[in-house]
Amino acid sequence: MKKIIICFLLLSLIPIRILKSDEKEEEIKILKKQVQELLEKIEKLEKEQKKVSEKVEPKFKIKGRVAAGYYNSEDDGNFPKGSFEIPEAKIQFLFQPDDINTVIMRMDLNNAKFNTIDYLYLETKLDKLFNIDLPVYSRLGRFKIDFGEETFSNNPVESVLPSNSASNVSGNDEGLLLKANLSKNFSVSLSILNGNEGVGSDNNGPKALSTKFSYEFSNFYISGSFYNSFSLKDKNSEIKIAGLNSPPIGTSDWKRSFFEIDFRYDYKKGKILNPPSYSDSKGIIRSAYGIFKDDIKNGNDRDGWYGFVEGTLNLTDKLYFAARYSIVELDDGIIAKLNGIDSNKYERLSIGFGYRITKQTIFKFSYDFNREKPEDKDNDLFSILVSTIF
């Protein structure tokens, strides 16, 4: 009987021991889970701390671009005997005190001399400032007018060719810009500007207005831009067309308005789209068409139109071929200084190629055939230069 009782006791202890073992394993699992959760919380806190540090730590950056080379033109051109030039030299300073605001200043050192500060503005990420989902930012100060397709690549570094189109719409002005990406493919910008030429000056007249809509789908990009200076009085316009920004002699009041539509197609679209000279798309076609009106008070209006078609073909990763036809013409036979020449119509055919020596440096060659009416000048231009970004 005693043996039976002992056996019974031994058998009764076995499940208790098993149960205790199972409980220990369960406790270990719980502890492991708690440790894992704790490690994840520590990792999350470290990431948040890093973000806070990055937000607090100011950032300062310097970048720029330079182009230098040799130009030779016919007798009526700017370089009839040939000349070594530095047509483009810009240095940009960027200071970011926080993750919302950025101060940008750019110095113009073209032709190896200090010319002016052509950018100085505060850019603010309004979506972060007001905690909204829509990507939108503002610029306040002096900046490049957001207009057209060529405006942001009309320099011998970023353009596929050393020269610009015959119209070369361009300009920087003081004002306020608001730009928003309303969807993944659609963006809109609105600028209120001084309008008249001169750094930090205003004629105390109505402000200029500029707006741009752009839409991108697949390999296509299209945009429309509108600009109206309103009354400039007797001052020059800040925005230029073929270098023309002055009112006719004797005009006491005038205003400038114009509209431009732009188109771009990327064949075998690459990852790098802009600037065009650094794009890795297999081929690019860009075009623009615009009309402008210079409304003159107590005089004849000075109206006209302009446009260009540009093609680029990347023959290899390093070598590309480029060509551009461009034109600007004034209505009713009016004569004005288009690209520095008294003319009614100015046409330019530019043909050339580029060789990417490195990812930052490009060798460029081109020949410009220039034609003017009513009097054609001998001013064709041969250009050979090296451009780089840093």
Give the pLDDT confidence of 215-235 residue by residue, as tens digits: 999 999 999 999 999 999 999
Q: Are 351 and 313 in contact (CB under 8 A)?
A: no
Residue 252: CB atoms within 10 Å:
11
SS3 130: coil
Contacts of 184 (CB under 8 A, 6+ apart): none
Quick one: pLDDT at residue 51?
62
pLDDT of residue 54: 54
Residue range 63-89: average pLDDT? Answer: 97
Between 17 and 315, the higher pLDDT residue? 315
Domain contains 24? no
Specify the higher pLDDT residue, 169 or 201: 169
* Residue 31 counted as domain residue: no
What does the pLDDT average to over 68-73? 98
Whether the pLDDT of residue 168 is over 90: the answer is yes
Domain of 170 in residue numbering reads as: 60-389
Number of structural domains, the chain? Answer: 1
Confidence of residue 58 (pLDDT cuts 50, 70, 90): confident
Is 51 a member of any domain? no
Residue 1 inside a domain? The answer is: no
The pLDDT of 141-148, averaged and rounded, is: 96
Residue 37 has pLDDT above 70, yes or no: yes
What is the per-residue pLDDT for 237? 95
Q: Is residue 16 part of a domain?
A: no
pLDDT at 52 over 70: no
Mean pLDDT along residues 178-202: 91
Burial classification of residue 192, based on how many CB atoms lie within 10 Å of its CB (0-12 exposed, 13-18 middle, 19 or more buried): middle
Binning pLDDT at 50, 70 and 90, where does residue 11 land?
A: very low
Residue 47 lies in a domain: no
CATH of the domain at 94: 2.40.160.10
Among candidate residues 318, 20, 301, 352, the one with its CA nearest the CA of residue 161: 352
| 65 in any annotated domain | yes
Question: 132 or 16: whose pLDDT is higher?
Answer: 132
- Tell if the pTM clears 0.85, that is, is over it: no
Residue 29 lies in a domain: no
Nearest to 119 by CA among 98, 95, 150: 95
What is the pLDDT of the chain when averaged over all its residues? 90
For residue 260, the model assigns a pLDDT of: 98
Residue type, position 287, single letter: S
Please, which contacts does 245-254 make with residues 24 or more away whose CB atoms are closer than 8 Å?
Answer: 245/171, 245/197, 247/294, 247/296, 248/294, 248/296, 248/299, 248/302, 248/336, 250/299, 251/296, 251/297, 251/298, 251/299, 252/297, 252/298, 253/297, 254/294, 254/295, 254/296, 254/297
Distance CA 220, CA 217 (A): 5
| 319 or 15, which is more confident | 319
pLDDT band at 17 (very low <50, low <70, confident <90, very high): very low
Q: Taking the CA atoms of the chain, what radius of gyration do you get in angstroms? A: 32
Bridge partner residues of 189 (DSSP): 179, 212
Residue 53 has pLDDT above 90, yes or no: no
Task: Answer yes or no: is pLDDT of 200 > 90.
Answer: no
- Of 155-164, 203-212, 301-310, the poorest mean pLDDT is in 203-212
Q: What is the pLDDT of residue 21?
A: 61
What pLDDT is stored for residue 268 in this prediction?
Answer: 95
pLDDT value of position 310: 98
Which tens digits make up the pLDDT trace of 101-132? 999 999 999 999 999 999 999 999 999 999 99
pLDDT at 205: 81
Quote the DSSP letter at residue 386.
E
The two tokens of residue 249 are 């002699």
